[in-house]
Amino acid sequence: MIKKHWSDGKILIKQKESFKEAKLLQLNSKKSNKILKWKPKLNLFESIYITGMWYKKFYDKKTNMYKFSLYQLENYFVNVKKIL
């Protein structure tokens, strides 16, 4: 999904011997919904797109990341207000 929006880059995964991570992550927001009455405002594709754009700008090293992060946050809050 990220490669679709980041076609000029390559994905390189480096393996570290000392890093331990579960082979399968099963993330689920049902518990937070049940206990906190919380629901995600973005779907999976929107979340991946926003995260991917942040990393693309970060690795381009041409963007002021503080300003870009603020830009993304402002857009997030504008879009969330439309949903509510």
Q: Which residues contact 14 (CB under 8 A, 6 or more apart)?
A: none
Rounded distance, CA 45 to CA 51, Å? 10
pTM, to two decimals: 0.64
- Which DSSP string do the residues of 16-43 spell out, in sequence order? -TT----S------HHHHHHH----SS-
Give residue limits of the domains in the chain: 38-84
pLDDT digits (tens, 9 = 90+) for 36-81: 988 888 888 999 999 999 999 999 999 999 999 999 999 999 988 8
